[in-house]
């Protein structure tokens, strides 16, 4: 690209072959002007060069000797380019952004390419934070196998690009397996939930507020059974329905809007005693594939496990118990539609 932008009587020679540098730059180019004056370009290829890493990258290149650093990349953000200029480096990216300014021999070339990354999803994912990851983890645990990326994306309600990146991460971590057609045909559900809760937490990912049902948990259950609004019980109460344990002292409920729900359930705010936690969910996926337990709507087992594992007190131990059930749990058949509310 650089060559094509130079006037015809300038020459660019790859000097790396001549000066083999084991830990040097990726390439060394010699630019020769018509009058014979020469300049060396220390060429360094950087994928995803973030602005905050520019200074470090240039320091590294300058260690290799005299010459003008020249960074090549698939895409450089406007801020990265600005910083490269500020620190005296040239650059070129695959979208057509190019700049080279030399004083001896005197040369200035600048062309403009894209300001936005045309391949935003190419970076490998490292975290399962966020709504799309949550929807996908839940779908992978709940839905009937096998399915391809597009089907998974559609059923989880995320973009195919997101699904593809999350699946790549999960495959790297050996949490899922794919067949020859690239369809997911195995999910290690319990391990997948354990991996999810490294990035998801019932207390931190959702917005929760404390309330008091002064008439006690039994009275709350009666109201929930008659409730006409969207809710899903999670935590120890949902677990108690599965394990037939006594109801817990504190109940956690996902709702759309905790003030509205508190009014409808006639809950009070209290600073001294709390027996109901209302949580506005990180994503409506918590309302997907809920189950009716004794007339009370509860989150799906996969969501319950994640919430317990990241909950207070004895919750994580209960979560571990339920993870055993998750691996053998029946998937939601293909015919079932996603819950309303998206």
Partner 1 sequence: MDALDALGEHRNSVILVGAQAIYVHAGEATFGMVAYTTDADLALDPRVLEETPPIESVMRNAGFRPGVQPGIWLGSDDIQVDLLVPEALGGGGRRSARLGGHGKETARKVEGLEGALVENELVRVSSLRRDDDRQFDIRVAGPSALVVAKLHKLWERRNDRRRLENKDAADVFRLLQAIDLERFASGFRALREDAVSAASAVRAIGFLEDLFGRAGGLGIGMLREAVTGLDDPDIAAASCLQLARDVMEAIRR
Can residue 215 be called a binding residue for partner 1 (CB under 8 A)? yes
Among all chains, which residue has been given the structure tokens 């020679």? Answer: 13
Question: What are φ and ψ of residue 27, in 5° steps?
Answer: -155, 155
Which residue, 249 or 324, is less far from partner 1 as judged by CB? 249
Stretch that binds partner 1, among 1-9, 31-39, 207-215, 300-308 (CB under 8 A): 207-215
Beta strands 11-14 and 27-32, pairing class: antiparallel
User: Six-digit token pair at 137?
Assistant: 């983890």
Stretch that binds partner 1, among 62-70, 90-98, 190-198, 264-272 (CB under 8 A): 264-272
Can residue 223 be called a binding residue for partner 1 (CB under 8 A)? no
CB of 245 to partner 1, least distance (A): 14
Which residue, 109 or 212, is less far from partner 1 as judged by CB? 212
Which residue, 110 or 274, is less far from partner 1 as judged by CB? 274
Element (H, E) at 32: strand 27-32
Stretch that binds partner 1, among 22-30, 38-46, 48-56, 270-278 (CB under 8 A): 270-278
Element (H, E) at 28: strand 27-32
Instruction: Pick the binder of partner 1 from 78, 96, 273, 295 (CB under 8 A).
Output: 273
Distance set, CA 49 to CA 53, 72, 73 (Å): 6, 9, 7
Residues in a beta bridge with 71: 44, 91
CB of 270 to partner 1, least distance (A): 5
Can residue 219 be called a binding residue for partner 1 (CB under 8 A)? yes
Question: Going by C-beta distance under 8 Å and a sequence separation of 6 or more, which residues neighbour residue 323?
Answer: 189, 190, 193, 194, 305, 309
Q: In angstroms, rounded to a whole number, what is the distance separating the alpha carbons of residues 262 and 231? A: 12
Residue 185: closest CA among 81, 331, 297, 59? 331
Question: Going by C-beta distance under 8 Å and a sequence separation of 6 or more, which residues neighbour residue 145?
Answer: 184, 185, 186, 187, 331
Instruction: Pick the binder of partner 1 from 77, 275, 290, 303 (CB under 8 A).
Output: 275
Can residue 270 be called a binding residue for partner 1 (CB under 8 A)? yes
Instruction: Pick the binder of partner 1 from 34, 216, 312, 341 (CB under 8 A).
Output: 216
Can residue 65 be called a binding residue for partner 1 (CB under 8 A)? no
Can residue 214 be called a binding residue for partner 1 (CB under 8 A)? yes
CB of 273 to partner 1, least distance (A): 3
Which residue ranges make up the site for partner 1 (CB under 8 A)? 212-219, 249-250, 268, 270, 272-275
């Amino acid at each position: 690209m650089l060559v094509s932008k130079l006037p015809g009587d300038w020459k660019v020679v790859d000097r790396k072959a001549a000066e083999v540098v084991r830990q040097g730059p990726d390439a060394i180019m010699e630019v020769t002007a018509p009058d014979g004056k020469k300049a060396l370009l220390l060429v360094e290829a950087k994928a995803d060069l973030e602005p905050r890493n520019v200074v470090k990258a240039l320091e590294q290149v300058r260690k290799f000797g005299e010459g003008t650093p020249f960074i090549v990349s698939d895409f450089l953000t406007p801020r990265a380019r600005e910083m490269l200029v500020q620190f005296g480096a040239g650059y070129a990216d695959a979208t057509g952004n190019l700049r080279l300014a030399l004083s001896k021999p005197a040369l200035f070339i600048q062309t403009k390419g894209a300001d936005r990354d045309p391949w935003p999803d190419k970076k490998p994912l490292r975290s399962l934070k966020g709504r799309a990851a949550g929807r996908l983890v839940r779908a992978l645990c709940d839905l009937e196998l096998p399915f391809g990326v597009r089907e998974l994306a559609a059923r989880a309600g995320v973009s195919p690009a997101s699904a593809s990146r999350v699946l790549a991460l999960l495959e790297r971590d050996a949490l899922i397996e794919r067949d020859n057609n690239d369809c997911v045909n195995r999910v290690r559900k319990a391990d997948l939930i354990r991996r999810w809760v490294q990035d998801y937490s019932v207390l931190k990912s959702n917005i929760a507020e404390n309330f008091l049902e002064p008439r006690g948990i039994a009275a709350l259950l009666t109201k929930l059974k008659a409730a006409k609004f969207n809710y899903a019980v999670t935590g120890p109460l949902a677990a108690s329905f599965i394990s037939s344990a006594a109801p817990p002292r504190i109940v956690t409920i996902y709702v759309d809007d905790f003030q509205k729900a508190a009014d409808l359930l006639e809950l009070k705010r209290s600073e001294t005693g709390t027996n109901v936690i209302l949580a506005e969910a990180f994503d409506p996926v918590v309302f997907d594939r809920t189950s009716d337990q004794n007339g009370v709507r509860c989150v799906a087992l996969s969501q319950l496990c994640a919430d317990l594992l990241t909950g207070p007190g004895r919750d994580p131990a209960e979560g571990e118990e339920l993870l055993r059930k998750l691996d053998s749990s029946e998937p939601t058949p293909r015919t079932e539609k996603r819950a309303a509310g998206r």
